[in-house]
Amino acid sequence: MSVQQWTFLLVGVTFSLYLFVAFRARVKDTRGFYVAGRGVPAIANGMATAADWMSAASFLGMAGTISLLGYAGGVYLMGWTGGFVLLALLLAPYLRKFGRFTVPDFVGDRFESSAARLVALVCALFISFTYVAGQMRGVGIVFARFLEVDVTLGVVIGMALVFIYATLGGMKGITYTQVAQYWVLICAFVIPVVAVSYQLTGQPVPQLGMGSELPAATGGQRLLDTLNTIHKDLGFLSYTEAFTGKWDRINVFCTTLALMVGTAGLPHVIVRFYTVKNVQAARWSGFWALLFISVLYLTAPATAAFARYYVIDSINGKVESELPSWYQTWSKIGLLVWLDDGDGKLAYRGPAYKADNELFRIGKLSTTEFADIKVEHQKWLDSEGANGSDGRVVMTEKNLAGPDADILVLAMPEMANLAAWIIALVAAGGLAAALSTASGLLLVISSSIAHDLYYRMLRPQATEAQRLSLSRKAIGVAVVIAGVVGIYPPGFVAEVVAFAFGLAASSFFPVLVLGIFSVRVGTVPAIAGMVCGIGFTATYILSTVYFGGSRWCFGIGPQGIGTIGMVVNFAVALSLTPFCKPPSEAVRALVSRIRAPEDDEESAGNPPAAH
């Protein structure tokens, strides 16, 4: 069977599985719809959280990014896992004990203010929409690459599937579908790397293989030392050395911390802890979630190192006829392109020798734009520099040197000549990663609109049936918007997703921590803190990224500024507190109630009296 037949088969089987699971888990009330009836076992919730968390970007992009960054790639690894420690220790058990449906619920009740609820609601919607657009795009791209259908058709198929299982089963349907998606995506990620590790180093455990020696035929040195040597020879920054290039100590520190704190403040992750039975189960599902996530995150650095070695080894210095088949596959769609200097050999070089580099990616250029560059380049070659223009200079100026990061995970099985079914499995895994994250986000959007905005703020007298029907409609509208943004992506989407973490770090996290660990912080300091934190972060990001402002704050880049925003938020809230009114008696009672571990069965169905 060919790769494409295998892909159709595996995608068909996994999609049927998701629909079957969702049909079995369909629900009839809002409690089932928002929080899966609070009956999800901790271990299943852990798997669902893991699938929810690991997006198309984690699955396809992260290992590739690490591969290109080396040591600094650890920023993403530590940032996106370290946040779960904060979440499990500081937020999850207490928010579960609080026992409502959403994050704005807690902010509104704890700080006794509709304004605070509204600020939280807007943040939740903004973060979720930027995220979900990227996921839909990911679904479309996987379809386009593996099944050769149009990106638009791919997005529409993805939209239809998510719509069916999210409206049918709400949180319950999504949770159990995500459990199935976890297994698909983790197998798809790990199996190829184990095979590659064994081929390359004779060590089947990738985490150890990464530190092992290469066979004598290829030098017999340790893989990481070999990579460092190759990098040095070709003009790249060292693979293992810390703090190279623009990733200096302060930026690595601030970006790591901003990603950690931002992870703990993301509404679609927090809301998962509302679905379990009690406080105990919330703590355990934090553990299971990180354990399941760490399977991918501990494997990704190995994927990155192996792929880095293979990519350089199999294409650098080769002539056209020696290039591997995966090179042909991916160069067809522009993930990597070769602009030769006339010697017929492909030279892949790093920043130190950037004038000699011949390997690029098309990136956001349209096919016609790139075709023009290619024509000019050919003219330049034929006239020996008299006419046309050197395409390599043009591409380097456009920041398009080197292959696209997405290629590495997708091309890994092909690089190692693995079987067709494994390549197809990777396609199914990429789809599982994108769909599971998209569905979790859509539910947050739906509950923000139907629960926080409509029921809690506009029409408190709405009946159960009205709310449930509105929730389903809200998912429908959100799916369509996400799909449209996925088909026609505005240029800023990718950047905005990275900034969502900074915004979550500087808004939600401090307010939630203060709400739980202090009884003294009241309405005014909390709102002032949120507004100052998010205001500072957003202003800094906008001014440095879009208006070319200087990085006046210790030279920190826009990705790391959330750390300072968080400090601002804490500082403003705590320094205003002594001058402001303490919270009411009812809120004090609410806080002591969420700190006490028992009485879960009693409080699970009954909202607290505190408002």
Partner 1 sequence: MSAATDPSANDEGAVKDPDIDAAHARHWRRSIRLTVVLLVVWAIAGLGCGVWFAAELNEVTFLGFPLGFWFAQQGAIATFVVLILIYALTMRRYDRRLAAELAAIKTEERRS
State which of positions 39-68 bind partner 1 (CB under 8 A): 66
Phi and psi at residue 262, to the nearest 5°? -65, -40
- Smallest distance from partner 1 to CB 510, Å: 15
Among 582, 605, 607, 611, binds partner 1 (CB under 8 A): 582
Supply angle C-alpha 350, 353, 357, rounded to 5. Answer: 65
**Residue with Cβ nearer partner 1 (71 or 421):** 71
- Smallest distance from partner 1 to CB 587, Å: 10
Alpha-carbon gap, residue 445 to 268, rounded angstroms? 9
User: Interface with partner 1 includes 222 (CB under 8 A)?
Assistant: yes
DSSP 149-164: --HHHHHHHHHHHHHH
261 within 8 A of 21, measured Cβ to Cβ: no
Q: Which residue has the tokens 């839909």?
A: 136
**Residue with Cβ nearer partner 1 (58 or 102):** 58
- Smallest distance from partner 1 to CB 63, Å: 11
**Residue with Cβ nearer partner 1 (520 or 551):** 520
Among 334, 588, 603, 604, binds partner 1 (CB under 8 A): 588
DSSP 173-239: HHHHHHHHHHHHHHHHHHHHHHHHHHHHHS-SSHHHHTTSBPPGGGTSSBHHHHHHHHHHHHTPPPS
User: Interface with partner 1 includes 589 (CB under 8 A)?
Assistant: yes
Q: What is the 3-state secondary structure (H, E, C) of 363-399?
A: CCCCHHHHHHHHHHHHHHHHCCCCCCCCHHHHHHHCC
**Residue with Cβ nearer partner 1 (260 or 415):** 260
**Residue with Cβ nearer partner 1 (227 or 474):** 227
Contact string (CB under 8 A) for partner 1, positions 268-307, x = contact:
-----------xx--xx-xx--xx--x--xx--x------
User: Interface with partner 1 includes 597 (CB under 8 A)?
Assistant: yes
Q: How far apart are the first and last CA of the chain?
A: 63
Alpha-carbon gap, residue 183 to 171, rounded angstroms? 19
Side chain identity at residue 546, one-letter code? Y
User: Interface with partner 1 includes 211 (CB under 8 A)?
Assistant: yes
State which of positions 472-531 bind partner 1 (CB under 8 A): 519-520
Alpha-carbon gap, residue 129 to 175, rounded angstroms? 20
Region near partner 1 per CB under 8 A, out of 157-165, 216-224, 522-530, 544-552: 216-224
197 within 8 A of 204, measured Cβ to Cβ: yes
**Residue with Cβ nearer partner 1 (243 or 421):** 243
Among 8, 71, 198, 421, binds partner 1 (CB under 8 A): 71
**Residue with Cβ nearer partner 1 (420 or 567):** 567
- Smallest distance from partner 1 to CB 258, Å: 12
SS3 82: helix
User: Interface with partner 1 includes 252 (CB under 8 A)?
Assistant: yes
Among 190, 195, 210, 237, binds partner 1 (CB under 8 A): 210
* Backbone torsion region of residue 37, taken as left when φ is above 0, otherwise alpha when ψ lies between -120 and 50, otherwise beta: left
User: Interface with partner 1 includes 74 (CB under 8 A)?
Assistant: yes
Alpha-carbon gap, residue 191 to 421, rounded angstroms? 11
Binding residues for partner 1, total number by CB under 8 A? 59
- Smallest distance from partner 1 to CB 259, Å: 11
206 within 8 A of 194, measured Cβ to Cβ: yes
- Smallest distance from partner 1 to CB 516, Å: 11
Closest by CA to 392, choosing from 467, 342, 436, is 342
DSSP 15-64: HHHHHHHHHHT---SHHHHHHGGG-B-HHHHHHHHHHHHS-HIIIIIIHH
- Smallest distance from partner 1 to CB 239, Å: 8
State which of positions 88-107 bind partner 1 (CB under 8 A): 88-90, 93
Region near partner 1 per CB under 8 A, out of 79-87, 123-131, 373-381, 551-559: 79-87
**Residue with Cβ nearer partner 1 (245 or 582):** 582
User: Interface with partner 1 includes 387 (CB under 8 A)?
Assistant: no
**Residue with Cβ nearer partner 1 (176 or 284):** 284
- Smallest distance from partner 1 to CB 505, Å: 14
Alpha-carbon gap, residue 2 to 424, rounded angstroms? 9
Region near partner 1 per CB under 8 A, out of 72-80, 105-113, 319-327, 380-388: 72-80
CA distances from 160 to 156, 466, 479 (A): 6, 24, 8
User: Interface with partner 1 includes 258 (CB under 8 A)?
Assistant: no
CA distances from 124 to 86, 118, 255, 367, 528 (A): 19, 10, 21, 36, 18
User: What token pair was written down for 590?
Assistant: 């609410």
**Residue with Cβ nearer partner 1 (3 or 223):** 223
Can you give the binding site for partner 1, defined by CB under 8 A? 66, 71, 73-75, 77-78, 81-82, 84-86, 88-90, 93, 207-208, 210-213, 222-224, 240-243, 249, 252-253, 256-257, 260, 279-280, 283-284, 286-287, 290-291, 294, 297-298, 301, 519-520, 582, 588-589, 591-593, 595-598
